[in-house]
Amino acid sequence: MDIDEKKLGEYYANPPEDISLADVDLERIPHHVSIIMDGNGRWAQARGLDRSEGHVAGVDSLREAVTTSVRLGLDVLSVYAFSTENWRRPQHEVDLLMHLFATTLLNELPLFHQENVQLRFFGDIDALPKETADVFREGLAQTADHTGMTFALAVNYGSRAEIARAARELASEVAAGTLRPEDIDESVISSRLYTAGLPDPELLIRTSGEMRLSNYLLWQLAYTEFYVTPTLWPDFSRWDFLRAVKAFQGRHRRFGGVTER
């Protein structure tokens, strides 16, 4: 996406000591950044608050991450908001999150219109509570003709479930005689995943210091650069985003070969 350098400069005014916009190469911003937004509960507990307060605070970080991504000219920002395993949490926490997703999305629709952001979901959103599913479908409809950055929210997403679903779909097409097994290659499989048509993430950020994928984008992250920060999600700012991009730009990506690129 195009970068509006004037807006970007204003957005990154008043830098802290260790990082500034000049530290990143605007020609080499990753096209797709994905974030595992983790640590809301610990952020709240450290303040003697209920875990739910951490989720509420995390919404501000997410809004900032969306704006940062637009300003930096990303094509795609995707974020992991709720996994297929998160249903194991206490019912009141699940209920709060589902309600928070719905209200947040409604509140943020003006931002998506203003910034021309197209919304997308990874995961089975039909299985969500009706209030949430309805708002999500409304968000899809309202942003369908937007041509700017894609913002993908992974909700009720699990990578193994995603791959199993793709396998079922392909198997039924083979059974129906519309697909030949020998035609199933990597691109065919990619085209049946929730990320169909999107470039794989070049950079994955996980907050709160956890060094695991938690069932996120197992196929798509095959050659992604990982950046783990101890910062908890509600504390993650535009500057942390810049630190991650800077770290990414310092990596040598070899893709199995022996030279860079």
Active-site amino acid positions: 38, 86
Query: Minimal CA–CA distance to 190: which of 182, 181, 199, 203?
Result: 199
Residue 235 Cα to chain centre, angstroms: 17
Report angle CA 102, 128, 220 to the nearest 5 degrees.
95
Site residue total, ligand IPE (CB under 6 A): 17
Taking the complex as a whole, how short is the minimal distance between the CB of residue 218 and ligand IPE, in angstroms?
13
Tokens 């040598």 — which residue? Answer: 252
Query: Is 39 near ligand IPE (CB under 6 A)?
Result: yes
Query: Is 212 near ligand IPE (CB under 6 A)?
Result: yes
Query: Is 108 near Mg ion (CB under 5 A)?
Result: no
Residue 252, both tokens: 């040598």
42 among the known binding-site residues? yes
Q: Of Mg ion, ligand IPE, none, which one does residue 80 interact with (CB within 5 to 8 Å by kind)?
A: ligand IPE
Residue 208 Cα to chain centre, angstroms: 16
Q: What's the CA gap between 73 and 84, in Å, rounded?
A: 31
Taking the complex as a whole, how short is the minimal distance between the CB of residue 225 and ligand IPE, in angstroms?
19
Taking the complex as a whole, how short is the minimal distance between the CB of residue 208 and ligand IPE, in angstroms?
6
Nearest-10 Cα torsion for 191, 152, 77, 231: -120
Site string for ligand IPE, 48-87 (x = CB under 6 A): --------------------------------xxxx--x-
Site for Mg ion in 236-255 (CB under 5 A): none
Q: Is 206 helix (H, G, I), strand (E, B) or coil?
A: strand
Q: Of ligand IPE, Mg ion, none, which one does residue 212 interact with (CB within 5 to 8 Å by kind)?
A: ligand IPE
Query: Minimal CA–CA distance to 65: which of 247, 209, 245?
Result: 245
Site string for Mg ion, 27-56 (x = CB under 5 A): -----------x------------------
